[in-house]
Amino acid sequence: MTIAQIDAFLAEVFPQIDDQFKTLELTEHGARVKLLTADQHLRPGGTVSGPAMFALADCAFYIAILSKLGPKAMAVTTNCSIDFMRKPAQSDLIAEVRILKMGKSLVVGDVVMISQGENQPVARASMTYSIPK
């Protein structure tokens, strides 16, 4: 799928995330997706919240899978483990997805999240998705 096809598909099947994420790039083994950080994503102290970073990791991984499988809305998260490494800036976050293994029923990979304009990761998520038959 292309970025335009993914955007149209998500608008149809997952409208609640509309205007929160922007797909920047689809690669051979993943994707780059931006969280368009707004007040709803911030925690006290003016930093991006952990739940917002989980949402970015989860949606970015889903987008990477869609780009490989096509429009299959039922791919679902079966496991996620996040390491929060440093305080994110109060800015958009960029997720860099790397699919490590794409099997018939499971997809495994990593998502590294970086504050826009920075080069050090703020968090890393290890993701596993199930592809129902």
Domain ranges of the chain: 3-130
For 72-128, write each residue's pLDDT tens digit: 767 789 999 999 999 998 889 999 999 999 998 999 999 999 999 899 999 999 999
The answer to whether the pTM exceeds 0.75 is yes
- Specify the pLDDT at position 72: 74
From 30-34, 40-44, 100-104, 113-117, the region with the lowest mean pLDDT: 40-44
CB 64 within 8 A of CB 57: no
Q: Which residues are CB-neighbours of 88 under 8 A, at least 6 positions away?
A: 47, 48, 53, 113, 115, 122, 123
For 109-125, write each residue's pLDDT tens digit: 999 999 998 999 999 99
User: Angle formed by the axes of helices 3-13 and 50-69, to 10°?
Assistant: 120
CATH class of the domain defined by 3-130: alpha beta
Would you place residue 39 in the very low, low, confident or very high pLDDT band (cuts 50, 70, 90)?
confident
